Chains A and B, each alone.
Chain A
Amino acid sequence: MNRLTSKLQNLKENKKKALVAYLVAGDPDLDTTLDLMHLFVDSGVDVIEIGVPFTDPIAEGPTIQKAHDRALKNNISLKMILELVDKFRETNTETPIVLMGYLNTFISHIDLVQSIGENSADSILVVDVPGELNLQTYGITNPNINTISLISPTTKDDRVESIAKNSTGFIYYVTLRGVTGSSNLNIEEIKNNIQKIQQYSDAPTMAGFGIKSVEDASTLAACSDGIVIGSSIVEMIADESKTKEFGRIGEYLREMKTAIS
């Protein structure tokens, strides 16, 4: 079974919520990304989401945009990212890995996407492909990876169902109107919408975009199957990119883990 699917099933059976953490590959450099991935796991992260840098990341706020820019200065490509995952897998074969990026970088490397093996990345999330479209149409097909679709507060009911059906990994519920790193969560609306999604689908639903505080984390974990944290981690990575003292990130993740448990 796919590593991501079985991990999420396992958590659900044990009535636990998933902690998903995001970083951008190659920010500030690939060796540091590898260290951070291990730090994530040691701090309680269940699923790692690796941002695949793109020149025009239209769904990202300034924090993650800048991380993409920094990574692109290092000429990070999908090939290098898959090599990074291989290195990670030398010592960790447990933690599922999701590649999150934009369609153009994946379709430029269809050969690589199709050759992803069992012991590599586990899932792909393409931000700029609407959920009811089938990624297979674009050549993104591989028995070893599943796909994740986004549902947002503005998704109409009739589309929720078809999107939920197409999502083989989990459903990513975008918790706000806006780009990554914005704030102003509307908790009531989020609760209602996630309930609606769960009526249509048994797939796990993760909540993400704009989650920063432990309070948000615990409230949202209570009404979903887990939470995704991105911008606040990426900001801490940027702050310590010279010193590489990432102790604060470990602490922060452990607090988050406690908050959702």
Chain B
Amino acid sequence: MTFSNSNFPDKEGFYGEYGGKFVPETLMYALEELENTYNKLKDNKDFIDEFYKDLSHFVGRPSPLYFAQRLTDHYKSGSIWLKREDLNHTGAHKINNTVGQILLAKYMGKKRIIAETGAGQHGVATATVAARLGLECHIYMGAEDVRRQSLNVYRIKLLGANVHPVDSGSATLKDALNEALRDWVTNVEDTYYIIGSVTGPHPYPMIVRDFNSVVGKEVIEQSKDLFGKMPDAVVACVGGGSNAMGIFHPFIDIKETRLIGVEAGGEGVSTGEHAAPLNDGTPGVLHGARSYLMQDESGQVKDTKSVSAGLDYPGVGPEHSWLKDIGRAEYVAVSDDDALKAFHEVTELEGIMPALETAHAFAYLEPLMKELDSSANVVVNVSGRGDKDINTVAEIDGIEF
């Protein structure tokens, strides 16, 4: 078995005109080392077996494809299926990637693990796999996200990792990534950087995609079993784009399935106060890759706004930019208000409390189910569970504990 069925990226790490390796020279050898290691291991039976063994016994895969009866009733049309990544160990899709990358770190003999995190889910997933192997772990997190995702900050600390709040810039995910890259430049020889999304320089977007592709592969099999054909649409939220890429990628050649990525619309795309580069950005270079980016006319990266820390990022993975340009995937945006409404709705109707990131994907069902045929099967990628967001939601609802 191999991980990937795609010809992209090309040898230089490009998806069409997006991607690449735009990093300070000091990191070039580390990216090469990582690429060589991954290319060697990805077809190695022992490595693949170890990865899938960890996915089943440590993560708890496969995750169910669950029929959402009351949500389906609510929309009075089609059938809504939930891919339950929220049931994974640590509560989100992020663990698929960290379980894979920590194996690469182990094979490479790295002793020190670093990562950036926005919502804290990737920080938790990284601290978890580092704890399991007894490796030193440092997590960079924007000071604003430390505040709004305090539960996850504490989880990361309990797992024995160090949390470094980042004050620079907008003190969110983008700045955490900057700081993690600076750490890597400084400690490159003994340090493995586990990037948390399909972002950053090549080969990261490819590696993170491949490890998350297990999600889409399972959906293909489960769809056959449960409703006997391919879904009409797959919907996923897009921050950096890893949960979306993971579920989209195995579907790229299955043309009857629409792929819909939902970005964070913040106060509304027309207000400019959002985190939706695929809806309202232009191509630019940030964090080592060329991709759609929220930037001003001088090429400065704009501050973003989203109620969801995990989507609050001005860039997006390069493969999404490519899928947008070739028209294979559609990218829409959902406002904070609509996402919050969906958060409550799904919690009450299904007994499943989604992460605020995931709530964006759910919110898009409202227009989508109206548009689709009444026989349509729609899969929503439930990228994570919402416990981490309880403080944010309570604050918005004016509730004090």
Binding site for B on A (CB under 8 A): 54-61, 65, 69, 72, 75, 77-78, 102-109, 127-131, 149-156, 159, 163, 174, 177-179, 182
Contacts and interface: CB of A to CB of B under 8 A. Distances in A.
Contact of A179 (B23, B186, B287, B293): B186
Nearest to B283: A107
Interface in B160-201: 168-169, 174-175, 178, 181-182, 185-189
Interface in B287-323: 287-288, 293, 295, 297-301
Where chain B touches its partner, the secondary structure class is mixed
Nearest to B303: A55
Contact of A156 (B23, B29, B187): B29
A230 B288 CA distance: 24
B141 interface: no
A231 to B, nearest CB: 14
B51 interface: no
A56 B286 contact: yes
Contacts of B22: 103, 128-130
A104 B26 contact: no
Contacts of A109: 298-299
A7 B21 CA distance: 33
A155 B113 CA distance: 22
B393 interface: no
A130 B293 CA distance: 21
A155 B28 contact: yes
Given A54-B299, A104-B295, 20 more contacts: A55-B300, A56-B175, A56-B178, A56-B287, A58-B23, A58-B181, A102-B285, A104-B299, A105-B298, A108-B297, A128-B23, A128-B24, A128-B288, A150-B25, A154-B25, A154-B29, A156-B29, A156-B32, A177-B185, A179-B186
Nearest to A156: B29
A70 to B, nearest CB: 12
Interface string B4-30: 000000000000000001111111111
Contacts of B286: 56, 104
Nearest to A76: B298
Contacts, number: 108
A55 B189 CA distance: 27
Contacts of A128: 22-24, 285, 288
Most A C-beta atoms less than 10 A away, residue of B287, B298, B300: B298
A186 to B, nearest CB: 12
B304 to A, nearest CB: 12
Contacts of B26: 152-154, 174, 177-178
Nearest to A173: B25
Contacts of B185: 58-59, 177-179
Nearest to A79: B298
B300 A154 contact: no
Contacts of A55: 169, 300-301
21 contacts: A54-B299, A55-B300, A58-B23, A58-B185, A60-B182, A65-B168, A69-B169, A105-B299, A106-B299, A109-B299, A128-B23, A128-B285, A152-B26, A154-B30, A154-B189, A163-B25, A174-B24, A174-B25, A174-B26, A179-B185, A179-B186
Contact of B182 (A58, A107, A150, A151): A58
What 8 A-B pairs come out closest when comparing CB atoms?
Answer: A108-B299, A178-B186, A152-B26, A150-B25, A59-B24, A55-B301, A105-B299, A77-B298
B268 interface: no
A108 B186 CA distance: 29
A8 B23 CA distance: 27
A56 B299 contact: no
Contacts of A103: 22, 285
B284 interface: yes
A105 B301 CA distance: 10
Contacts of B188: 154, 177
Nearest to B32: A156
B385 to A, nearest CB: 31
A131 B28 CA distance: 10
Nearest to A58: B181
A56 B174 contact: yes
A58 B189 contact: no
Contacts of B299: 54, 104-109
A54 B287 CA distance: 12
Contacts of B30: 154
A131 B30 CA distance: 15
B298 A78 contact: yes
Most A C-beta atoms less than 10 A away, residue of B23, B174, B182, B286: B182
Nearest to A126: B22
A136 to B, nearest CB: 15
B375 to A, nearest CB: 46
A77 B299 CA distance: 9
Contacts of A104: 284-286, 293, 295, 299, 301
